[in-house]
Structure 1
């Protein structure tokens, strides 16, 4: 048994210690009231949550839940941050992304809180030839620039470096990242359009002449956006980083110089504790890589966190403000050096000025009003966070080792091994989304059928051909799109009549459940009047189990006589004559709603 040190506090000294077993017994007593006959550790297990990667979170953590020593901020293994001062010196770098050649939008961001620029250049983004125009009035010695130019990296980097020279920016004052990421580009497009050898010269140039510039980005977003788990995202980033270290050292850079040329980009989600643990685990893992390469002092990972595109919804996009706020908080607490908050309308097209303002103000409020950056590693010492960081690090390292055994990131990408593992993870998560065990506010829960659509100018098309891009809302979005098309063609949405049986006390809960469920599929529930007056072709019974026993079959027969082509029942499956299907908590809502729309002739 672990003996805890005397902390000098005597506030509760007159009370006996409460053993863990006592708490478990109290939990078991509560669970027995809900019909679960469990005791001891099984009671605690009943309240545990299973995450991806074989990780589970428990309802209670104590000092006995040990984890490796996290060290001190700014020192190996850098779990507590890559700098001794953390983000306390003014907060994190507020980095805004721009994909259109709009110099006014760039200036507006910089004048109102943004501290660095992330520019998508080349392809359908900002033309390389327009870089000078977009950055015309930008003080390049004050605002770091990060490029994302894909297979046009060499041309974009050359143009940016020439801009520094033309404007008299001292090489030591140039900061940012040239954004070379050949493996990330291949993951996005499936095309090995350029290789590391073609950008090694950029790394050498930065190392020799531009100490504040990095040449390469290890972008883990392609794996996150393909449906990967946190451990898979980390494992792919490690494998990519190791591949770049090999390539750069073969080109003549030392391990220390090569490490200094890399910046890592991760997704920050609304699962705040998992995001915090992911960023902390990423630093620990990269420190281990640097140590294994013989340069432990070079293992401080520079991190850029981006609020997750996967969690952004197209319906009720205003809720995205809440999602990105939680994600930004997690990124800041997790110790990211730079944070990009995607505008709430990012999934709809080019963000407008209001959306960009809200995005940059999210960081500003958290830093200046919530004082989130005043404490270094505020989650450090939390038994839960430290344990989760450790478990996630082990899961990610195992995934990374699998990639290395497959020949490295390049080989694993080209063989399809990475894509297959990510697809398996996304399939499992899609099942949770379909059954609403992972709810999406405004989409699979509490949707608004009469919401006013938010229209935006189309955004430049994203590169395709490689790993897929997924979104949590995609299955429900397809259902809503069918309903919208039906509304446009006929003037009405598909309808279902909710037949409430018995008094309000008996039917209210299931009536609300059914109404919410059908709205997620774009089907308008009708609760007033008779079935004949509803304009619906299908009906759903809503009441208590006791009343179903008495009236379900008779009511189903009456509805069929009135013209109902299909009768559903809100409740667990049973055998009632005349009832065709059952809608209940945990059912496959996507499958149920899709077949309902099919029957209604909604294409």
Structure 2
């Protein structure tokens, strides 16, 4: 009888893997596509598959053990975060956001959330949400010692904080009230352009440290940089710079270093790029651990992170797809070790969320926690050499941006000088160009749009603060085009239309006809297809030829001339070839937004 070995080596029956052998195989595939030649050196093959993030971080095709990172769960630099409890792993805090201006409606929604899986409440107060005077009514029946409450009151922070502290004191639970007062004057300055000073938050922090030991005073909101179009490292670097500014103010107000660190929580965005989102949260802890180290903080001073699914990635069109985006983002937040997670409701871009969308938002997290058991594994991304490597590279890029801000005189000075605005604007323009060219596709918007959709009706939401850096949405350019099409359809009874003139049999023209239909429909332009001779009866005034390169060489010029003779004001061609009587081309990687702008203009659909 064979005795099994004590150690089972799963790769024992396979030959050793060699990087050069892998490169040779990849080179063979790339040669077939034309991306490589016989003379391409093996050491250059990987570079052909490498892309670069908006932070300049190379995203390679292959990672190995040499790309790993050190660290143990729960210990500095806190890459491998863990939330222990008496029962084992505690998971994360399920935090729901509320913005409804009616205190009674908000109270009912809060209680429903807390009874069905939510563990903390995030309240937007002031002009952008619930009136400060309605805070007591909204929280009536909420046990402040059990359910943390996080305030987000912007310019009304001092007033909202006083109202909440009075409520906690009146309940007899002052020492047990949990949550955060959400003071973030620097973040407010980013959103509104109104000058804010860290010293404004210091008095609240001192009061919390002395009288309300389970309350934090300060939230460093990194999402303001993400929402302005910034990259992951730019969000992290700016958040660390703001955090350092608050540390200086808090210690200057009399708090010890450890007390100052205990008063700060970070709010960061996570999006549908799950691996970069995982790396972002891990890098955030690494960066803050370095700040704690040089500040002389005690061991165990890990960043507390509230992860929020990206508002910038949410779409108004085909909003149901937002459920998928937020699920991926919430998964990344959990794997990345977030302490608290907020899933924005799928209809957030349409107005005030309803009961159904809030239920889906909280159940997304419940599924990840309870059914997927995501919180039962310490550092699920640990050992992923890809995640380990980009965590380190992202941390280095963010630290570089942080030091640039410090060299400019600190966060407030860098913001006032325009340094922050210029940096984020440049990144947004690069991302915007990628979206326009559909290199960064948006399902249901730039890809596979549904022109027949009926959007759910929602009550208008209070206007968000403005006046500072812009708040962008990745889908905004395509959605603006769709809005023009909708207005035209409402005014005329018909959508703008493009005729897809197909050449040859179905098998030959289907691929490019489908590509063209998808592109034009992304701008709200209806497409009908048929042979060139059917154009005159279609009612369209713009046509697009669709076929293979071989048939284009034989028929494109004649077909384009026939279309113009039949009244076509413009003839596009799906492909890259140049032919007589063809005005322009659409192809993979073309500027789809520019094509759609031009086409709507040609069809008489003006702004």
- Normalised by the size of structure 1, how large is the TM-score? 0.96
User: Within 5 A, what are the aligned runs for 1:570-589?
Assistant: 570-572=574-576, 574-589=577-592
Please say if residues 95 and 115 of structure 1, whose CA atoms lie closer than 8 Å, have aligned partners that are also in contact: yes
Structure 1 position 17, deviation (Å): 1.0
Structure 1 position 85, deviation (Å): 5.8
Residue 129 of structure 2 corresponds to residue 125 of structure 1:
yes
The match for 1:3 is none
Q: Which of 186, 196, 206 lines up with 2:189 in the alignment? A: 186
Distance 1:381 1:514 in 2: 43
The match for 2:573 is 569
Distance 2:19 2:298 in 1: 40
The match for 1:60 is 62
Distance 1:30 1:91 in 2: 43
SS at match of 2:77: coil
Residue 555 of structure 2 corresponds to residue 557 of structure 1:
no
The match for 1:601 is 604
User: Within 5 A, what are the aligned runs for 1:37-56?
Assistant: 37=37, 38-56=40-58
The match for 2:389 is 387
The match for 1:75 is 75
Moved more, 83-92 or 349-358: 83-92
Please say if residues 83 and 91 of structure 2, whose CA atoms lie closer than 8 Å, have aligned partners that are also in contact: no
The match for 1:34 is 33
Q: Which of 459, 468, 479 lines up with 1:457 in the alignment? A: 459
Deviations 1:209-251 (A, max 9, x none): 2121000000001100000000000000000000000001111
Moved more, 364-373 or 117-126: 117-126
Distance 2:226 2:420 in 1: 12
The match for 1:473 is 475
The match for 1:105 is 109
Structure 1 position 528, deviation (Å): 4.5
Structure 1 position 64, deviation (Å): 2.1
The match for 2:92 is 92
Deviations 1:138-180 (A, max 9, x none): 12221110000112111111111111122222x3321000000
Distance 2:67 2:197 in 1: 45
Structure 1 position 373, deviation (Å): 0.4
Moved more, 78-87 or 429-438: 78-87
Q: Which of 534, 537, 544 lines up with 2:541 in the alignment? A: 537
Distance 1:501 1:491 in 2: 30
Structure 1 position 66, deviation (Å): 4.2
Please say if residues 574 and 585 of structure 2, whose CA atoms lie closer than 8 Å, have aligned partners that are also in contact: yes
Give the alignment's Cα RMSD to 1 decimal: 1.5
Deviations 1:530-555 (A, max 9, x none): 11221111100000000001111111
Structure 1 position 88, deviation (Å): 5.4
User: Within 5 A, what are the aligned runs for 1:151-300?
Assistant: 151-169=155-173, 171-192=174-195, 194-297=196-299, 299-300=301-302
SS at match of 1:320: helix
Please say if residues 225 and 471 of structure 1, whose CA atoms lie closer than 8 Å, have aligned partners that are also in contact: yes
Distance 1:335 1:124 in 2: 30
Distance 1:15 1:549 in 2: 50
Structure 1 position 299, deviation (Å): 2.8
Moved more, 85-94 or 429-438: 85-94
User: Within 5 A, what are the aligned runs for 1:386-465?
Assistant: 386-465=388-467
Deviations 1:401-421 (A, max 9, x none): 000000000001111100100
Please say if residues 198 and 245 of structure 2, whose CA atoms lie closer than 8 Å, have aligned partners that are also in contact: no
SS at match of 2:472: coil
Deviations 1:490-528 (A, max 9, x none): 000000000010011210100000000100011100114
Please say if residues 82 and 378 of structure 2, whose CA atoms lie closer than 8 Å, have aligned partners that are also in contact: no
Distance 1:82 1:31 in 2: 42
Distance 1:12 1:155 in 2: 63
Please say if residues 497 and 525 of structure 2, whose CA atoms lie closer than 8 Å, have aligned partners that are also in contact: yes
Distance 1:65 1:391 in 2: 11
The match for 1:590 is 593
Please say if residues 185 and 200 of structure 2, whose CA atoms lie closer than 8 Å, have aligned partners that are also in contact: no
Structure 1 position 107, deviation (Å): 1.3
The match for 1:4 is none
Please say if residues 502 and 530 of structure 2, whose CA atoms lie closer than 8 Å, have aligned partners that are also in contact: no
Please say if residues 179 and 217 of structure 1, whose CA atoms lie closer than 8 Å, have aligned partners that are also in contact: yes
Deviations 1:326-364 (A, max 9, x none): 000000000000000000000111011100000000000
Moved more, 578-587 or 71-80: 71-80
Deviations 1:87-141 (A, max 9, x none): 9534211100111132111111111111100001112311111001111121222
Distance 2:475 2:499 in 1: 26
Inter-CA distance 117–571: structure 2 relative to 1 (3 Å threshold)? same
Distance 1:153 1:103 in 2: 20
Please say if residues 344 and 361 of structure 2, whose CA atoms lie closer than 8 Å, have aligned partners that are also in contact: yes
SS at match of 1:199: helix
Q: How many residues align?
A: 592
SS at match of 1:267: strand
Unaligned runs of 5+ in 1: 1-6
Distance 1:86 1:414 in 2: 48
Distance 2:307 2:165 in 1: 25
Residue 341 of structure 2 corresponds to residue 347 of structure 1:
no
Distance 1:587 1:441 in 2: 18
Distance 1:484 1:86 in 2: 56
Structure 1 position 201, deviation (Å): 1.7
Distance 1:505 1:86 in 2: 63
Inter-CA distance 125–161: structure 2 relative to 1 (3 Å threshold)? same
Residue 379 of structure 2 corresponds to residue 377 of structure 1:
yes
Structure 1 position 396, deviation (Å): 0.3
Structure 1 position 39, deviation (Å): 4.2
Inter-CA distance 8–21: structure 2 relative to 1 (3 Å threshold)? farther
Inter-CA distance 525–87: structure 2 relative to 1 (3 Å threshold)? farther
